[in-house]
C-alpha cells in the first residue's frame, strides 16, 4: 500500500509543502558535505598552524625539561605545574580548534539554515518497529551509503598508495633520521595526502549531496489529491468562495439601493447604465451613491421614480462615471462641469416646482 501511495506522488511540491517539511526538520542533509568541511578544516589547520603550534609547545616543554630540577613537585607545586601546562596547551590549540568548530558549523549551515524542531525526537512506532528497521536497513539510502563507503575506501586507498609508494625508500630511511627531520618529512607527506583526500572527498560530497537532494525532493512530492486538499485549505472551497462572493455582492446591492433615495439625480444611458449622484450644499463635489447595469440599473430607476428623483439621460456621461468612480467616492474633476450643469438643471426644476405649488 505504501508503494502504491508513493507512486501516486507525481507532482512537484508546493512552497507550502517545502515550508512544512523545513518546520518538521526534514531538510536536505549530506553527511559527506559535513565530513568534507571538517577534513578540509583539519588540513587547513595542519598547513597553517602546525608550525606555530608545535613551536610553542616545544619551547614550553623544553623549558620544563631544562628546569625540571627547580620545579617543586609538592601538592601545591604540582597543581600549579598542571594548571600551567593546561594553559599552554589550550593557548596552542585554541585557534586550530576554533577553525575545526567553524568548519563543522559551515558544513551544516551551507546545506540549510538552523532548524528548531522537536519532530525528529518524538516517539514514533516506526522508529522502534523491527519491520520498519529492516526496511531502512535494506532501503535505497542504506545501499547507497554502503556503496559510497566502498567507493571512498577504494578511491582514497588508491590515492594514498599512489602518493606514498614513490616515497617508500624515503620512508624506510626515517629510522636513521633524527627527530626533527622525521617530523618535517612526516608533515610534508601528511599535507600531500590530506590535499589529495580533500580533493577526492569534494567529488564524493558533491555527488552525495545531489543524491540526498533527489531523495529528499522525491519524499516531498505530492499526489493530485494532496494538492487539491492543500488548495482547499489555502484558497478555500470554490463553491464556498462563490457563495461568499454572492453574499458580498448582495449586501453591496442592498446598501446601494438603500442609498438611492438620498440621491439628487440619476444619470442614465437609457437602458444599460444608471448612476445615482448625491449633492448637498457644503459638499466639495457630488458623490456617487449607487450604480448599476441592465437589471440593476432598471431597479435603480424604479426606486428613483418611487421617490421622485429626477432621471437625466446622458449616455456618454453615464458610461464615463460608471467606469471612473466607485461607490461612495467623489466624481473626478474632469466631470465637474458636465455634472454641475445637470445638478443646476435639477435644482432649477425643483425651484420651479416649488413656486408652482399653491
Tens of pLDDT along 20-41? 887 777 888 888 888 899 888 8
Q: At residue 1, does pLDDT exceed 70?
A: no
Q: Is 173 helix (H, G, I), strand (E, B) or coil?
A: helix
The rounded Cα 275 to chain-centroid distance in angstroms is 48
Q: Is the model more confident about 126 or about 168?
A: 168
Average pLDDT over the chain reads 78
Q: In what order do the strands lie in the sheet containing 287-293?
A: 311-313, 265-269, 273-278, 287-293, 329-330
DSSP-derived secondary structure for 220-283 = H-B-HHHHHHHHHHHH--HHHHHHHHHHHHHHHHHHHHHHGGG-SEEEEETTTEEEEEE--TT-
CB-based contact 88:56 (threshold 8 Å): yes
Place of cell 487539491: 228
pLDDT per residue over 306-355, tens digit each?
A: 888 888 888 888 888 888 777 778 888 888 888 888 888 888 777 776 55
**Nearest C-alpha neighbor of 141 from the set 218, 63, 249, 35:** 218
CB-based contact 353:310 (threshold 8 Å): no
Place of cell 509543502: 17
Enter the DSSP assignment of 71.
S
Enter the DSSP assignment of 13.
P
Q: How far apart, in whole angstroms, are the C-alpha atoms of residue 97 and residue 41?
A: 9
For residues 269-291, give the mean pLDDT: 83
218 is written with which cell numbers? 522525491
CB-based contact 85:2 (threshold 8 Å): no
Q: How far apart, in whole angstroms, are the C-alpha atoms of residue 267 and residue 310?
A: 9
CB-based contact 102:41 (threshold 8 Å): yes
292 is written with which cell numbers? 448599476
235 is written with which cell numbers? 484558497
pLDDT per residue over 210-249, tens digit each?
A: 988 888 888 888 888 888 887 777 665 666 677 777 888 8
60 is written with which cell numbers? 614550553
Q: How far apart, in whole angstroms, are the C-alpha atoms of residue 19 and residue 22?
A: 5
Q: In this predicted structure, what is the pLDDT of residue 57?
A: 67
Q: Where are the beta strands (DSSP E) in 125-263?
A: none
141 is written with which cell numbers? 539510502
257 is written with which cell numbers? 439601493
Task: Give me the residues paired with residue 312 across strands.
Answer: 267
Enter the DSSP assignment of 74.
S
Q: How far apart, in whole angstroms, are the C-alpha atoms of residue 204 and residue 337?
A: 78
Q: How far apart, in whole angstroms, are the C-alpha atoms of residue 319 and residue 273?
A: 7
For residues 191-212, give the mean pLDDT: 86
Q: How far apart, in whole angstroms, are the C-alpha atoms of residue 9 and residue 224?
A: 7
Q: In this predicted structure, what is the pLDDT of residue 355?
A: 54
Q: How far apart, in whole angstroms, are the C-alpha atoms of residue 191 and residue 51?
A: 13
Amino acid at each position: 500500500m505504501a508503494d502504491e501511495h508513493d507512486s501516486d506522488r507525481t507532482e512537484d511540491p508546493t512552497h507550502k509543502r517545502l515550508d512544512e517539511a523545513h518546520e518538521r526538520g526534514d531538510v536536505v542533509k549530506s553527511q559527506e558535505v559535513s565530513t568534507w568541511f571538517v577534513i578540509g578544516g583539519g588540513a587547513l589547520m595542519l598547513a597553517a598552524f602546525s608550525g606555530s603550534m608545535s613551536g610553542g609547545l616545544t619551547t614550553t616543554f623544553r623549558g620544563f625539561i631544562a628546569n625540571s630540577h627547580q620545579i617543586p613537585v609538592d601538592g601545591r607545586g604540582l597543581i600549579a605545574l598542571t594548571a600551567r601546562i593546561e594553559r599552554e596547551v589550550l593557548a596552542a590549540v585554541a585557534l586550530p580548534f576554533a577553525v575545526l568548530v567553524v568548519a563543522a558549523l559551515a558544513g551544516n549551515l551551507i546545506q540549510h539554515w538552523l532548524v528548531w524542531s522537536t519532530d525528529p525526537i518524538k516517539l514514533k512506532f516506526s522508529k522502534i518497529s523491527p519491520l520498519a528497521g529492516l526496511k531502512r536497513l535494506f532501503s535505497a539510502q542504506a545501499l547507497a551509503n554502503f556503496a559510497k563507503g566502498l567507493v571512498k575506501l577504494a578511491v582514497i586507498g588508491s590515492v594514498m598508495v599512489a602518493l606514498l609508494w614513490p616515497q617508500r625508500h624515503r620512508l624506510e630511511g626515517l629510522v636513521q633520521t633524527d627527530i626533527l627531520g622525521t617530523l618535517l618529512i612526516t608533515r610534508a607527506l601528511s599535507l600531500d595526502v590530506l590535499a589529495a583526500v580533500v580533493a577526492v572527498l569534494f567529488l564524493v560530497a558533491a555527488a552525495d549531496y545531489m543524491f540526498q537532494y533527489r531523495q529528499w525532493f522525491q519524499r516531498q512530492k505530492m499526489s493530485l489529491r494532496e494538492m487539491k486538499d492543500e488548495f482547499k485549505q489555502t484558497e478555500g472551497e470554490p463553491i464556498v468562495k462563490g457563495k461568499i462572493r454572492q453574499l458580498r455582492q448582495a449586501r453591496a446591492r442592498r446598501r446601494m439601493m438603500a442609498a438611492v433615495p438620498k440621491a439628487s439625480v440619476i444619470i442614465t444611458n437609457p437602458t444599460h447604465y444608471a448612476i445615482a449622484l448625491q449633492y448637498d450644499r457644503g459638499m466639495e463635489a457630488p458623490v456617487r451613491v449607487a450604480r448599476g447595469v441592465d437589471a440593476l440599473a432598471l431597479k435603480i430607476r424604479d426606486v428613483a421614480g418611487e421617490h421622485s428623483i429626477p432621471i437625466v439621460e446622458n449616455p456618454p456621461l453615464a458610461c464615463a462615471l460608471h467606469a471612473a468612480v466607485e461607490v461612495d467616492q467623489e466624481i473626478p474633476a474632469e466631470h465637474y462641469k458636465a455634472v454641475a450643469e445637470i445638478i443646476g438643471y435639477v435644482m432649477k426644476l425643483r425651484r420651479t416646482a416649488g413656486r408652482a405649488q399653491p
